[in-house]
Amino acid sequence: MRRWILLHRRDIQSIQFASAQCKDLKVRRILYRVLLLGMVASHNLVYASNSAVAAKRIVSLAPSLTELVFAAGASKHLVAVSAFSDFPEEAKRLPQVADYAGINIEALVALKPDLVLVWDSGTRAADVARLREFRIRAEVIRVASLADVSTAIRQIGVLAGTSATAEAAATAFATRIARLDSAQQRKRRVTVFFEISPAPLTTINHEHVISQVISACGGQNVFASAPALVFQPSREQLLQQNPDVILRSASTVSTRKPDESVYEGLAAKQRGQIYTVNADHILRPGPRLADAAEQVCHLLDQARHAKNYFSAAQ
């Protein structure tokens, strides 16, 4: 297994200085490679486990983690998943050992996993503590940004010994996002309200990965500066912001017509610019965020091209 070089901040600064001062091009290239490896390893210490044995029996405790495992090419090592792990299709056939109520620790232990993947902001601390009581290795996966998706895929690839596949998937995801972001550079900014829940009305601030998807598509989250990651604005606050576009998540199998009464009086409702985004794509912090971003970009372009939008925006 590849050995990663860990560098402290002062070491990185020293190498940067040495590289800048060195006149030998070959030496400068070597210093740059050492610096790059050191910075990558220092960014995520999981890469430094050069003595760790690749996991062969993995349990995923969130649907997004399950999707990340498949993306990393480690699905053959999955022995159990959480409830609602329904993508890809093969995930439905795996036993489920966790749901909103917590972990079925007895069922999980019986499967003899050598690695449990834990969702940073979703798995309860008490459940993680129980895993450690049974001396089960638990690794926390954090996806708080679009860049974190690629990092998480690579992290799982290292843990499962599937780094080559994981690297290809991580690069492909990053490339899709970069292309979308580049395509939006000269487009008119569109103010956006993203509805997490209609009752109570709930949205997100700039720190949420969904807000980053909106930004990548040339949109501006109207509650980007909200004080909490997940925020419940009043109707008065929403009317004051008066977004150009309203995005809401919904399941593709839902047949219920959404209630839009809360949006009465908003220009977006008057223009018919309330759009639905695939909930499984946008609400799961995993590989399909790229699909969500493509859909959001398409919807915002649709708003830009509407004649009534341009007349109202002037």
Give a yes or no: residue 27 inside a domain. yes
Give a yes or no: residue 2 inside a domain. no
Which of 153, 177, 201 corresponds to the end of one domain?
177
- pLDDT tens for 89-111 read 999 999 999 998 899 999 999 99
- pLDDT tens for 206-246 read 999 999 999 999 999 999 999 999 999 999 999 999 999 99
Give the whole-angstrom CA distance, residue 263 versus residue 270: 9
- Are both 190 and 302 inside the same structural domain? yes
Which of 132, 155, 177 corresponds to the end of one domain?
177
- Are both 69 and 30 inside the same structural domain? no
Closest CA to 116 of 91, 82, 146, 70: 82
Where residue 284 falls among pLDDT bands split at 50, 70, 90? very high
**Higher pLDDT pick, 139 / 121:** 139
Q: CA gyration radius for the chain?
A: 22
Q: Which H helix or E strand runs over 85? A: none
Give a yes or no: residue 261 inside a domain. yes
- Are both 198 and 306 inside the same structural domain? yes
Give the whole-angstrom CA distance, residue 203 versus residue 247: 10
- Are both 207 and 105 inside the same structural domain? no
Where residue 260 falls among pLDDT bands split at 50, 70, 90? confident
- Are both 210 and 284 inside the same structural domain? yes
- Are both 236 and 262 inside the same structural domain? yes
- Are both 192 and 301 inside the same structural domain? yes
- Are both 166 and 193 inside the same structural domain? no
Give a yes or no: residue 265 inside a domain. yes
- pLDDT tens for 9-66 read 334 344 444 444 455 554 445 444 444 444 333 333 333 333 368 999 999 999 999 9
Give the whole-angstrom CA distance, residue 204 versus residue 47: 31
The reported pLDDT for the residue numbered 41 is 38
Closest CA to 59 of 141, 126, 177, 182: 141
- pLDDT tens for 153-189 read 999 999 999 999 999 999 999 999 999 999 988 899 9
Give a yes or no: residue 221 inside a domain. yes
Give the whole-angstrom CA distance, residue 175 versus residue 181: 10
- Are both 193 and 308 inside the same structural domain? yes
Range of the domain at 196: 186-313
- Are both 16 and 104 inside the same structural domain? no
- Are both 134 and 194 inside the same structural domain? no
The reported pLDDT for the residue numbered 14 is 43
The reported pLDDT for the residue numbered 38 is 41
Which of 152, 177, 202 corresponds to the end of one domain?
177
Give a yes or no: residue 15 inside a domain. yes
What phi and psi, each to the nearest 5 degrees, are found at residue 197? -145, 140
Give a yes or no: residue 254 inside a domain. yes
Give a yes or no: residue 3 inside a domain. no
- Give how many domains the chain has, as a whole number: 3
Phi/psi zone of residue 161: left (φ > 0), alpha (ψ -120 to 50 degrees), beta? Answer: left
| Omega prior to 200 cis, within 30 of 0 | yes
- Are both 190 and 301 inside the same structural domain? yes
Write the CATH number for 233: 3.40.50.1980
